[in-house]
Amino acid sequence: MGDVARRIQAAALSEPAWSDFGWLPRDDTDEKDGTDRLRFDWSDVHVNVIRHLPAEVTRLEGGGLRCDAMYRHDTHTQVLMPLNCECVMAVAPARVELSEAADLDSVRAFVVRPLQSLVLHPGTWHWGPFPLGQEAVRLFNVQGLRYAEDNRGADLAGRHLAFEVAVPNRN
């Protein structure tokens, strides 16, 4: 594995697997629709389209991706939906600080398909979503307009906690 602390296999996104990190939007006919709410402590909800480039992430031998940092926003939820291609995202619950190896036990990774939406709880650590292929992923994004003022990072590489996100074979 080289300079990575461990290997985390990316799984398909599902409601039960995602529940520690946020929720998946539901159909309006689902009886659970409306039970979860977005939170914006600074009343600065903002919608835009962002992108992540393949060059933003280190690709490892064997097809995995190296996660060397994660970020969180404590004042707001964030909604993401890839518009054009499959991508991968790693997350950790807000309750961990990502300061020691044991914290990596709570990290999960997910493959997110185009038009599959997700919501991150405030404080959820996240990395990506990064594209699986060579095309930039375009993301519909709802988050606080002042997110840069609330963008705490964990330098995993500096703490010797960088990890590999293994993705399913796409051939």
Q: 103-144 pLDDT, tens per residue? A: 999 999 999 999 999 999 999 999 999 999 999 999 999 999
Q: Is residue 104 part of a domain?
A: yes
Q: Is residue 59 part of a domain?
A: yes
The tokens of 142 are what?
Answer: 């709802």
Q: Which domain holds residue 84?
A: 7-28+36-166
Total tally of structural domains belonging to the chain: 1
What confidence tens digit (pLDDT) does each residue in 62-97 have?
A: 889 999 999 999 999 999 999 999 999 999 999 999
> Which CATH number fits the domain that encloses residue 134?
2.60.120.480
Contacts with 158 (C-beta within 8 Å, 6 or more apart), sequence order: none
Helix (H, G, I), strand (E, B) or coil at 163: strand
Q: Is residue 65 part of a domain?
A: yes
Q: Is residue 131 part of a domain?
A: yes
What per-residue confidence (pLDDT) applies to 170? 63
What confidence tens digit (pLDDT) does each residue in 29-42 have?
A: 999 999 999 999 99
